[in-house]
C-alpha cells in the first residue's frame, strides 16, 4: 500500500494506473483505489499561499509536516515546546478531512543546540527523549494516525548508523522510542523510515536486519517507510522492490512509499516525463 508521497507529481503514477476523467482529482483516484496519497507540508507556505492550500485540500487525503514536528522546531528549549506550526497543520487537516502522518520522533539531524551541546548522561538523555516522545504523541493522540518513530538509522553500507542518540543512549534507543510512542498512543501506527532500501543491496539488507531485530525484541513496530528518492536513471527494479516488500511482510510489517520523488535532468522532454511517469506507476503497483 502506498500511503504517503511528498510530491504532487505522484499524480503521474495514478493517472497511468487508473482510468480517469478530466474531473478526477488525485485524491478521488486514491480513495477509489483504497489508498492514501499525501504531501509534505511547509507551514509558512500554507499560511501565506491560498493556491498552495487549495491544491493540498483538493489533491491529497494525507499530510506530513515537512519540519513542524522535528525536534529543533517543536522542542527549541529543554523546558519549552512550540506547537504552533504542528497545531496549524492539524487544524487544516481536520477541516479538510485529511489524515496526518507525524514526522519524525527520533532522527540524528535537526536537533537543537541545547540538546547536542548539553553534555547529558545516558539516563538524562533517556529521560529527555522519553519526555519528548510522550509529550508530542500524547498531545496529538487520536488525531495523528501514524508516526515516523525513527528515520535513517542505517548507514549506506547497511550497518547501524552512529548518531547522537546511539552514542548517548546505546543501540536500544530505537526499541525504547517505539515502546514510548506506543505507550503514548496505543492506536497509532508506528513506522521506521529510511532511504535507499527499496530494492536489493546492503542498505536494504541493513534496514531488514534492523526492523527484524526490533520485531524480535518485541518493539511495537507496524511498518517500514521506503522514502524512494530516485531518478529516471537509477530507479530500483520493480521485481526487486516486490521481493523486498515480501520479506518485510513475512515479518508482519506493512510497507509505505513515504517520500517519493523521481528526479530528471533539465531540459525536460516528453520522453523523460514518460519515463518518470512509468517509474511512479511501476513503484505504486509494486507496493
Q: Residues 51-106: pLDDT tens digits? A: 999 999 999 999 999 999 999 999 999 999 999 999 999 999 999 999 999 999 99
* pLDDT class of 23 with cuts at 50, 70, 90: low
Q: Residues 130-168: pLDDT tens digits? A: 999 999 999 999 999 999 999 999 999 999 999 999 999
Locate the DSSP E strands across 75-123.
99-106
pLDDT-above-70 percentage for the chain? 92
Show the cell assigned to 1. Answer: 500500500
* Alpha-carbon span 113 to 2, nearest angstrom: 36
* Alpha-carbon span 94 to 23, nearest angstrom: 24
CA distances 185 to 133, 240, 267, Å, are 10, 34, 47
Q: Collect all residues with Cβ–Cβ distance below 8 Å to 38 and sequence separation of at least 6.
A: 3, 4, 5, 6, 60, 61, 62, 63, 64, 98, 99, 101
The CATH label, of 3.20.20.80, 2.40.30.10, 3.40.710.10, 3.40.50.1820, for the domain at 8-286 is: 3.20.20.80
Locate the DSSP E strands across the chain.
38-41, 62-65, 99-106, 146-151, 189-194, 223-226, 229-231, 254-257, 261-263
In this prediction the pTM is: 0.91
Active site residues: 152, 259
* Alpha-carbon span 145 to 101, nearest angstrom: 6
> In this structure, are residues 65 and 111 in contact, taking their beta carbons and an 8 Å threshold?
no
* Alpha-carbon span 199 to 1, nearest angstrom: 16
> In this structure, are residues 2 and 284 in contact, taking their beta carbons and an 8 Å threshold?
yes
CB count in 10 Å sphere of residue 122: 12
Amino acid at each position: 500500500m502506498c500511503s504517503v508521497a511528498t510530491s504532487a507529481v505522484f499524480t503521474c503514477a495514478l493517472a497511468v494506473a487508473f482510468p480517469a476523467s478530466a474531473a478526477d482529482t488525485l485524491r478521488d483516484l486514491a480513495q477509489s483505489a483504497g489508498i492514501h496519497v499525501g504531501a509534505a507540508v511547509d507551514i509558512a507556505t500554507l499560511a501565506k499561499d491560498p493556491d498552495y492550500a487549495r491544491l493540498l485540500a483538493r489533491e491529497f487525503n494525507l499530510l506530513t509536516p515537512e519540519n513542524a514536528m522535528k525536534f529543533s522546531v517543536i522542542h527549541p528549549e529543554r523546558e519549552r515546546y512550540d506547537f504552533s506550526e504542528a497545531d496549524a497543520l492539524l487544524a487544516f487537516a481536520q477541516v479538510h478531512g485529511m489524515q496526518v502522518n507525524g514526522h519524525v520522533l527520533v532522527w540524528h539531524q535537526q536537533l537543537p543546540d541545547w540538546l547536542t551541546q548539553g553534555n547529558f548522561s545516558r539516563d538524562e538523555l533517556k529521560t529527555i527523549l522519553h519526555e519528548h516522545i510522550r509529550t508530542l504523541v500524547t498531545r496529538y493522540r487520536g488525531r495523528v494516525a501514524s508516526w515516523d518513530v525513527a528515520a535513517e538509522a542505517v548507514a549506506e553500507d547497511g550497518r547501524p548508523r552512529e548518531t547522537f542518540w546511539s552514542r548517548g543512549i546505546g543501540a536500544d534507543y530505537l526499541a525504547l522510542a517505539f515502546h514510548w510512542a506506543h505507550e503514548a498512543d496505543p492506536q497509532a501506527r508506528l513506522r521506521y523510515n529510511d532511504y535507499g532500501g527499496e530494492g536489493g543491496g546492503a542498505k536494504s539488507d541493513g534496514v531488514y536486519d534492523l526492523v527484524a531485530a526490533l520485531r524480535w525484541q518485541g518493539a511495537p513496530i507496524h511498518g517500514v517507510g521506503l522514502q524512494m528518492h530516485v531518478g529516471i536513471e537509477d530507479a530500483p527494479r520493480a521485481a526487486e522492490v516486490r521481493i523486498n516488500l515480501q520479506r518485510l511482510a513475512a515479518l508482519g510489517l506493512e510497507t509505505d512509499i513515504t517520500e517519493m520523488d523521481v528526479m530528471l535532468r533539465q531540459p525536460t522532454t516528453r520522453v523523460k516525463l514518460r519515463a518518470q511517469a512509468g517509474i511512479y506507476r511501476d513503484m505504486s503497483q509494486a507496493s
